[in-house]
């Protein structure tokens, strides 16, 4: 239900295109809107207000301009999606210019998280490219007075093979712009064998700029008359300023003034945290001025939160019966019979995102409107949150999207952009809010802590006949509503209720837990703790049963089949069960391939070495990972090699997907080795990379080999699914190397010395 329209003579693109350019826009209707409109099929949606959504344009000089409407944080999506348009258009990529889109709901979702950019936009990108190509062909045919069917395209040109004539796209743009847009039924898509770009690796459009230090990031934005702000946030979530003394602050050279920001009204969502802002002439003066502030805080009820105490409560919770979220057969009856019973508890702490570029935003409020430049994954959320905070209309917030210096889910939450807009309104100038690393670590939307309890009864051959698993974690939904006590379907559907094992008696439970810090989503979200527990336990059972972990895992996954979870309302990452079933044959295949590639059972491993495996489906992508470790006498762990096999359906940019899975292994290494955020009396204990260490070159896997399964299945996610299987595979490898079973993250809490 996408619709391609001719925008060539629309006034709103003035300035972007020259006269005579061919410009096509695709009106993209989000799936949800489509569903709502289904009874009205055929009706014209929103015709009154026309606006270019996704667009492709061809200038008379042949330059092709394509809108990049997703945020670029390193996944290469800003490059990969426009290449789909360019492919169907038969355009020369070296003549393509990208135009980063501002925030606007009419683009469809711009929320660049959840690993869904390609799967959601692949088709509409193809349609746009194919429509423009057909119009160019028709324009040429008219010029030559030949049937369009006799014409075809070569790179960036239309040819008429019978007469040997050829016209470049630029020469045809003006004529094509006057033609009606072809109907979808008329479009001819390239067969995959003729793809120039889809499925072929590509470097980032921005590569040169990134290697030469060009000002591309939110942190690099500077606008005329801009002042800088650093904010002293309440140390405890929900805290308020009791009183403050800024006399020393105001003596700092370069500091102009201080401004109080009101505390939020629960739920906090994307509101500003409140506090005292220091306005200055440069970032350094703002930071210095903030250091000199004397603030007395009213910390409020969350000062009761100490994570070590909370951990005990979570662990108690999962030792008792919890809310049943999936139930098959009767595990209790099997457990009552006795036999070989295995139990284990797992625990994972809070994590901070710690993207290299901390949150940063510039905003200018003027005459009831805001213009913002934000390092954001979600410009529409910026519009909404800023509009809400300032009491203006969403349409009156223009959000320019910069490149992002990493994000990992943090930059979907635009509280820092709200701060910039609020401050700009108060000081009457454009304001740049820069979060220090300390702000970033201490005031994040944290990845949830989680406690898991698993219990299995093993039958003959050591295979489980009953499996019980309980988890408890404060839900990220607590960010959007008060009194949230249980995991949301979205979280429980990330590696918990969708456990793909072939076990006749299976029960999944979820325990009560409330949040005391801001909880948010972090690269692969609940899959991190769920996969850690499930895939560690699978490995434990293999060893109890005296079986090879790969063989055992394959037996747990069971025969090739489709697992139907419609009856329990499984969300399936918003993918349909028909297009994106849980297909165990694909999970088996990546498992077998990863083991093969790693030389599982064949490679000779020396003293202190071990291999571990884990397989996990997330974001509709199937991944298996084998980690090899080397542990020395002092307990130091190195990771010489990682093998990952990925089945993500059709892959648009395999080079970017390989990079994502190499990167995911390092991201997962960080959280597995040292990732731990704790709180004492509501205050986060960590502050910077010395007490929240992340993997450095020597800590990271020496090499990660990524194999992408050739597939014609619909495209699936790539940015996140590399993370979940890595962590259990890593810890399973440590067990293989040392005989020590670690059931709690991170590794730094354990001593592996011989």
Partner 1 sequence: MIRLKVNDVERTFDGDPQMPLLWYLRDELGLTGAKYGCGMALCGACTVHRNGKAIRSCSTPMADVDGAEIVTIEGLSKNGLHPVQKAWMEVNVPQCGYCQPGQIMQAVALLRENPHPTDEEIERAMAGNICRCGTYQRIRAAIKKAAGGSV
The answer to whether 273 and 415 have CB atoms below 8 angstroms apart is yes
Nearer to partner 1, 32 or 222 (CB): 222
Minimum distance from residue 669 beta carbon to partner 1 (Å): 8
Neighbours of 393 (CB within 10 A): 11
Tokens at 277, concatenated:
């802002």
Tokens at 364, concatenated:
């200018």
Minimum distance from residue 543 beta carbon to partner 1 (Å): 30
Nearer to partner 1, 255 or 525 (CB): 255
The answer to whether 743 and 676 have CB atoms below 8 angstroms apart is no
Q: Could you list the residues that contact partner 1 (CB under 8 A)?
A: 72-76, 203-204, 206-217, 219-220, 222, 228, 253-254, 282-285, 287, 354-358, 403-408, 434, 436-437, 655, 659-660, 662-667, 669-670, 688-690, 694-698, 700-704
Minimum distance from residue 349 beta carbon to partner 1 (Å): 18
Residues with Cβ within 8 Å of residue 667, at least 6 apart in sequence: 408, 523, 722, 723
Nearer to partner 1, 57 or 74 (CB): 74
Nearer to partner 1, 410 or 588 (CB): 410
Omega before 134 within 30 of 0, i.e. cis: no
Nearer to partner 1, 104 or 439 (CB): 439
The answer to whether 317 and 427 have CB atoms below 8 angstroms apart is no
Minimum distance from residue 34 beta carbon to partner 1 (Å): 33
The answer to whether 508 and 325 have CB atoms below 8 angstroms apart is yes
Write the DSSP symbol of residue 562: E
CA distance 449 to 446: 9
Residue 361's SS3 state is strand
Radius of gyration, alpha carbons of the chain: 27
Minimum distance from residue 700 beta carbon to partner 1 (Å): 5
CA distance 361 to 416: 6
Minimum distance from residue 403 beta carbon to partner 1 (Å): 7
Minimum distance from residue 155 beta carbon to partner 1 (Å): 23
Minimum distance from residue 703 beta carbon to partner 1 (Å): 6
The residue among 490, 515, 489, 526 whose CA lies nearest residue 267 is 515
Helices marked H in 569-680 — which ranges? 584-598, 654-673
CA distance 87 to 155: 10
The answer to whether 588 and 690 have CB atoms below 8 angstroms apart is no
The answer to whether 231 and 293 have CB atoms below 8 angstroms apart is no
Neighbours of 44 (CB within 10 A): 8
Minimum distance from residue 200 beta carbon to partner 1 (Å): 13
Nearer to partner 1, 49 or 697 (CB): 697
Minimum distance from residue 288 beta carbon to partner 1 (Å): 8
The answer to whether 278 and 258 have CB atoms below 8 angstroms apart is yes
Nearer to partner 1, 134 or 646 (CB): 646
Residues across the chain: 754
CA distance 4 to 124: 9
CA distance 382 to 691: 31
Nearer to partner 1, 551 or 691 (CB): 691
Nearer to partner 1, 285 or 742 (CB): 285
Nearer to partner 1, 176 or 723 (CB): 723
Minimum distance from residue 63 beta carbon to partner 1 (Å): 23
Nearer to partner 1, 75 or 510 (CB): 75
């Amino acid at each position: 239900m996408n619709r391609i329209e001719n925008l060539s003579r629309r006034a709103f693109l003035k300035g972007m295109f020259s006269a005579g350019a061919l410009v096509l826009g695709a009106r993209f209707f989000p799936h949800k809107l489509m569903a709502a409109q289904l009874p009205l099929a055929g009706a014209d949606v929103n015709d009154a207000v026309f606006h270019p959504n996704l667009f492709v344009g061809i200038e008379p000089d042949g330059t092709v301009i394509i809108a990049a409407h997703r945020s670029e944080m390193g996944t290469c999506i800003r490059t990969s999606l426009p290449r789909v348009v360019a492919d169907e258009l038969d355009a020369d990529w070296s003549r393509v210019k990208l135009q980063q889109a501002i925030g606007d709901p009419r683009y469809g979702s711009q929320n660049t998280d959840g690993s869904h950019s390609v799967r959601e936009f692949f088709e509409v990108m193809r349609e746009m490219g194919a429509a423009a190509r057909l119009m160019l062909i028709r324009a040429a045919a008219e010029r030559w007075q030949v049937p369009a069917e006799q014409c075809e395209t070569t790179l960036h040109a239309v040819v008429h093979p019978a007469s040997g004539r050829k016209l470049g796209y630029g020469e045809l743009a003006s004529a094509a712009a006057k033609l009606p847009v072809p109907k979808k039924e008329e479009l001819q898509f390239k067969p995959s064998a003729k793809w120039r770009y889809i499925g072929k690796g590509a470097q980032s459009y921005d590569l040169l700029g990134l290697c030469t230090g060009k000002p591309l990031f939110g942190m690099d934005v500077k606008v005329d008359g801009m002042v800088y702000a650093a904010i002293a946030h309440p140390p405890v979530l929900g805290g308020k300023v009791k009183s403050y003394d800024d006399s020393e602050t105001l003596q700092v050279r370069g500091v102009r003034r201080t401004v109080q920001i009101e505390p939020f009204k629960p739920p906090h969502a994307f509101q500003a945290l409140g506090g005292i802002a220091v306005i200055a002439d440069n970032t350094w003066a703002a930071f210095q001025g903030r250091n000199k502030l004397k603030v007395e805080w009213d910390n409020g009820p969350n000062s009761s939160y100490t994570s070590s105490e909370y951990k005990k409560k979570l662990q108690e919770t999962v030792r008792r019966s919890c809310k049943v979220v999936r139930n098959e057969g009767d595990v209790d009856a099997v457990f009552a019979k006795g036999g070989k019973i295995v139990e284990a508890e797992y625990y994972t702490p809070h994590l901070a995102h710690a993207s290299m570029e901390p949150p940063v935003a510039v905003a200018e409020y003027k005459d009831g409107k805001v213009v913002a430049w934000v390092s954001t994954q979600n410009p529409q959320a910026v519009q909404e949150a800023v509009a809400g905070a300032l009491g203006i209309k969403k349409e009156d917030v223009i959000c320019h999207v910069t490149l992002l210096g990493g994000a990992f889910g943090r930059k979907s939450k635009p509280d820092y952009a709200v701060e910039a807009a609020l401050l700009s309104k108060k000081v009457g100038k454009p304001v740049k809010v820069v979060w220090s690393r300390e702000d970033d670590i201490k005031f994040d939307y944290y990845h949830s802590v989680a406690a898991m309890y698993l219990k299995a009864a093993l039958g003959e051959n050591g295979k489980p006949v009953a499996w019980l698993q309980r988890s408890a974690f404060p839900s990220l939904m607590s960010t959007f509503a008060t009194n949230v006590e249980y995991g949301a379907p979205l979280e429980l559907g990330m590696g918990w209720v969708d456990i793909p094992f072939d076990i006749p008696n299976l029960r999944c439970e979820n325990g009560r837990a409330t949040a005391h810090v801001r909880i948010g989503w972090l690269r692969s979200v609940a899959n991190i703790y769920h996969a850690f527990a499930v895939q560690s336990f699978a490995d434990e059972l293999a060893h109890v049963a005296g079986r090879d972990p790969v063989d055992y895992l394959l037996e747990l996954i069971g025969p090739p089949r489709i697992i139907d979870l419609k009856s329990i309302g499984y969300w399936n990452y918003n993918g349909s069960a028909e297009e994106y079933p849980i297909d165990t044959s694909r999970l088996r295949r990546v498992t077998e391939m990863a083991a093969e590639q790693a030389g599982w059972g064949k490679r000779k491993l020396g003293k202190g070495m071990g291999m571990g495996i884990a397989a996990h489906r997330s974001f509709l992508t199937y991944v298996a990972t084998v980690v090899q470790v080397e542990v020395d006498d002092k307990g130091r762990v190195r990771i010489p090699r990682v093998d990952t096999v990925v089945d993500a359906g059709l892959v648009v940019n395999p080079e970017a997907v390989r990079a994502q899975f190499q990167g995911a292994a390092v991201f997962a290494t960080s959280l597995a080795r040292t990732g731990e955020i704790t709180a004492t009396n509501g205050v986060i204990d960590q502050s910077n990379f010395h007490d929240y260490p992340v993997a450095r070159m020597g800590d990271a896997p020496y090499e990660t080999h990524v194999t992408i399964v050739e597939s014609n299945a619909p495209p699936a996610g790539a940015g996140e699914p590399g993370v979940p299987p890595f962590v259990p595979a890593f810890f399973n490898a440590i067990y293989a190397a040392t005989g020590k079973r670690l059931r709690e993250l991170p590794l730094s809490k354990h001593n592996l010395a011989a």
